[in-house]
Amino acid sequence: MIEAIKISNIDRAKNAMVAALGSDAVLTTDEQVKEFRDPYEGAGATDFQPSFVVQPTTVEEVQEIVRIARDVGVPIWTSSTGRNYGYGGSAPVVSGSIVLNFRRMNKVLEINEEAGYALVEPGVRFFDLYDAIKAQGAKLMMSCPDIGWGSLVGNALDHGYGYTEMGDHSEAVCGMEVVLASGEVLRTGLGAVTKSPMWQRRKRGFGPQLDNLFMQSNYGIVTKMGRWLSPQPEVIATGSLICDTDDGIVAMIDALRPLMLDGTIQGRPLITSSPEPKDGRAKPGEDTIGASKQKKISAAYPPGRWNARISFYGHESMVNAREVIVRKAFERLPNVTMEIRKYPGNVDRKDVNPLDLVAAGIPNMFLLDELYKHFGLSVGHVCYSPSIPFTGKDAQRHERVIQEIQRDLGLVGGFGWIADARCLQGVSMIMYDVDNKEEILSSHEAVRRMLEKGAELGWTEYRAHPSLIEAVASHFDFGDHSLFKVYGKIKDALDPAGILSPGNHGIWPSDQHWQ
The interface with its own copies within residues 103-162 (CB under 8 A) comprises 114-117, 159
Binding test (CB under 8 A) with its own copies, winner from 231, 277, 303, 410: 231
Q: Give the CA angle between residues 123, 55, 107 to the nearest 5°.
A: 30
- Which range binds its own copies by CB under 8 A, 62-70, 78-86, 385-393, 445-453? 385-393
Binding test (CB under 8 A) with its own copies, winner from 44, 208, 280, 334: 208
* By CB under 8 A, residue 77 contacts its own copies: no
- Which range binds its own copies by CB under 8 A, 129-137, 291-299, 360-368, 387-395? 387-395
Give the C-alpha separation, 64 to 158, whole Å. 25
Binding test (CB under 8 A) with its own copies, winner from 19, 261, 299, 441: 261
Contact 497, 70 (CB under 8 A): yes
Give the C-alpha separation, 10 to 18, whole Å. 12
Contact 76, 62 (CB under 8 A): no
Which of residues 178 and 358 has its CB atom nearest to its own copies in the complex?
Answer: 178
Of 141, 153, 135, 14, which is closest to residue 74 (Cα–Cα)?
A: 14
The interface with its own copies within residues 421-450 (CB under 8 A) comprises 421-423, 425
Interaction mask 9-48, its own copies, x per CB under 8 A: ----------------------------------------
Interaction mask 453-482, its own copies, x per CB under 8 A: --x-xxxxxxxx-------xx-xxxxxxxx
Give the C-alpha separation, 332 to 207, whole Å. 50
Which of residues 104 and 397 has its CB atom nearest to its own copies in the complex?
Answer: 397
- Which range binds its own copies by CB under 8 A, 27-35, 205-213, 298-306, 349-357? 205-213
Give the C-alpha separation, 99 to 85, whole Å. 15
SS3 call for 472: helix
- Which range binds its own copies by CB under 8 A, 260-268, 280-288, 336-344, 375-383? 260-268
Sheet holding 117-120, edge to edge: 108-112, 117-120, 221-228, 173-179, 185-187
Interaction mask 389-428, its own copies, x per CB under 8 A: xxx----------------------------xxxx-x---
Give the C-alpha separation, 323 to 329, whole Å. 10
Of 222, 230, 208, which is closest to residue 154 (Cα–Cα)?
A: 222
The interface with its own copies within residues 480-509 (CB under 8 A) comprises 480-487, 489-490, 492-494, 505-507
Eight-state DSSP code of residue 98: E
Binding test (CB under 8 A) with its own copies, winner from 34, 60, 263, 344: 263
Cα torsion through 472, 473, 475, 476, rounded to 10:
150
